[in-house]
Structure 1
Amino acid sequence: MGGNKLTIAILGLGEAGSHFANDLVGPRLVAFGVNVVGHDPAPKHTLLPSVRLAANNADAVRGADIILSVNLSAVAELVAAEVLPALQPGQIYAEMNTASPDTKRAVAAIVEQAGAMAVDVAIMAPVPPKGILSPFLVSGPGAVLFAEKLRPLGVDITVLSDEMGEAATRKLLRSIVYKGMAAVIGEAVEASRAFGLEDYIREQIRSIIGDNDALIDRFLEGSKTHALRRSHELEAVVSMLTACAVEPVMSRATLTSLENLILQNQLS
């Protein structure tokens, strides 16, 4: 911390976290000499040898310039509280989970007790295939410094404001549309198959989204493959809308659709 080369701690080495870790130490960015240390209680993804594994989250954040919290929104506050005793003034704590604005603000309130600067990061595209080059929307007290440190690596960052929760709000509002559309397309295609009219319904869908049959398949496969992660995203949407007295009728239905897909995945 404080040297010329960045040290980045990654808390959570699932699909997103492992991609970020490997990209930061991989061939394209090797000239920058980024040091990466990470922790995951149950790592499942292959990591490059230069990614150092820490014994726990607190050990991972010690001496780090930037901390990327990429685990689950359900544990975002617990992880922040776990690492609080090890945080130092000036560290940047980036909360990257798809969580409600209130959760982002709660995380900030925890890490700021140690003088760390919180950043609300919204990942605006699927992490594979771009990895660390996926587009990020950021807000919060540490947003500008976060961008200054990572943009030289080629990271795509749009700074919104110094308000925690603004990046999360924009992502979740978009999720109402994208995840809702995926749920509607999934139901329409399933129903059309029952009637032997899949070609017909695909034609109707293409008339709305453009003549792109591959996009329909991406909606279908994406919902199935990422049902669990997307259900957490819709839970955050429902929480956000409920907090501002908007009845999340369609978002609750989308969440139910994803929960059904999770059950189907478990039974298959």
Structure 2
Amino acid sequence: MQLGFIGFGEAAFEMSSGLKEQGFGKIFAYDPLWNHPTFGLLVKERAHKAGVELKTEAEGVLDQADILIVAVPANKAYEVSGTLKPYLKKGCIYVDVSASNPDVKRRISDNIKGKEVPFVDAAMMGPLPVYKHTVPILASGDGTDALTRHMSPYGMAISKVSENPGDASAVKLIRSIYMKGTAALLIELLEAAHRFQVEDLVIGSISETMDGKSFEQSMNRLVTGTSIHAVRRAAELEGSIEMLEAAQLDSLMSQAARDKLRLLSTYNLKEKFQGKTPAKWLEVITAIQQ
């Protein structure tokens, strides 16, 4: 079993380094920047350090690889699949680890389907420098079982989502709404707390509210409560926005939250639930979607 990378940036370097440490055999790679005057040296240094054979053309990798990991920028992933398609060999497992959206992953799968090449939509769920090849991977597509069978013995942590290309990436991108959104919201909160010199009180108060419950319990409480109190909470945020603007602080996240609450209030959920807080978040989401 031989492995090939198209694109040899940080992800490919870290994964191949870890696999080599686990005794994996031949690994080949091609990166279009291999002879770039600025970045070419880094590509070559990484390949040498990881024990990877660097090729000067993509075809050189495709000739050798039984598993092909395409690690290119999201905006290039579909285009690259078209470039590689003529050289794909039957049975080679095509693994796309880009951060492309689900539609792009489905289009790539459809694009190569005629080559009898199993496809894997792979979403990496952790930092590569920390985990290397053991980074948790969510995978979907018809090549997932084969990829897991071949690579799990080397420590790769692959969890199957479904047979449908795009499902794994959907999980990652939906999760990012929370993870990236929370980070942005916290920055806005901490800027304000620091400006008013009340950071310890603010952090302590929020900690007291959140620390005693699991994430799912807190999520359920916040969503169900907001469903019947959206109008009041939007008005409260309006006060927060006025305070931030008076202090000449950015209020972008607070404005977005206020607008979302105002939109939620148009669904008349308080009336639908007869003023009683629903038991589960799913009741709220179902009512919105109806």
What residue in structure 2 maps to residue 127 of structure 1? 128
What residue in structure 2 maps to residue 39 of structure 1? 30
The aligned amino acid for 2:60 is D
The aligned amino acid for 1:36 is I
For 2:83, what is the secondary structure of its paired residue?
helix
What residue in structure 2 maps to residue 180 of structure 1? 181
Q: Is the 8 A contact 2:20 2:50 kept in 1?
A: no
- How do 1:224-235 and structure 2 match up within 5 A? none
1:195 and 2:158 matched: no
- How do 1:248-259 and structure 2 match up within 5 A? none
For 2:156, what is the secondary structure of its paired residue?
coil
- Give deviations 1:118-144, integer Å, cap 9, x for gaps: 111111122220111011111101111
- Superposition deviation, residue 152 in structure 1: 1.0
Q: 1:199 to 1:56 in 2, by over 3 A?
A: farther
Q: 1:210 to 1:125 in 2, by over 3 A?
A: farther
What residue in structure 1 maps to residue 52 of structure 2? 51
Q: Aligned partners of 2:209, 2:55: CA distance in 1, in Å?
A: 49
Any gaps of 5 or more consecutive residues in structure 2? 34-38, 213-251, 258-290
Any gaps of 5 or more consecutive residues in structure 1? 1-5, 212-248, 255-268
What residue in structure 2 maps to residue 153 of structure 1? 154
Q: Aligned partners of 1:199, 1:63: CA distance in 2, in Å?
A: 58
- Give deviations 1:13-43, integer Å, cap 9, x for gaps: 22211101211222xx12xx42111122335
Kindly report the root-mean-square deviation, in angstroms, between the aligned alpha carbons of the 2 structures: 2.3
For 1:196, what is the secondary structure of its paired residue?
coil
- Superposition deviation, residue 186 in structure 1: 1.6
Q: Is the 8 A contact 1:160 1:167 kept in 2?
A: yes
What residue in structure 1 maps to residue 84 of structure 2? 83
Percent identity between the aligned chains? 28
For 2:94, what is the secondary structure of its paired residue?
strand
- Give deviations 1:206-235, integer Å, cap 9, x for gaps: 346649xxxxxxxxxxxxxxxxxxxxxxxx
State the TM-score, normalized to the length of structure 2. 0.65
Q: Aligned partners of 1:117, 1:127: CA distance in 2, in Å?
A: 25
The aligned amino acid for 1:152 is P
State the TM-score, normalized to the length of structure 1. 0.70
Q: 1:209 to 1:38 in 2, by over 3 A?
A: farther
Q: Aligned partners of 2:139, 2:50: CA distance in 1, in Å?
A: 30
- Give deviations 1:30-72, integer Å, cap 9, x for gaps: 2xx4211112233536332621111133322222011111121
Answer with 175-184 or 189-198: which moved more: 189-198
Q: Aligned partners of 1:209, 1:62: CA distance in 2, in Å?
A: 54
For 1:107, what is the secondary structure of its paired residue?
helix
For 1:129, what is the secondary structure of its paired residue?
helix
Q: Aligned partners of 1:157, 1:49: CA distance in 2, in Å?
A: 22
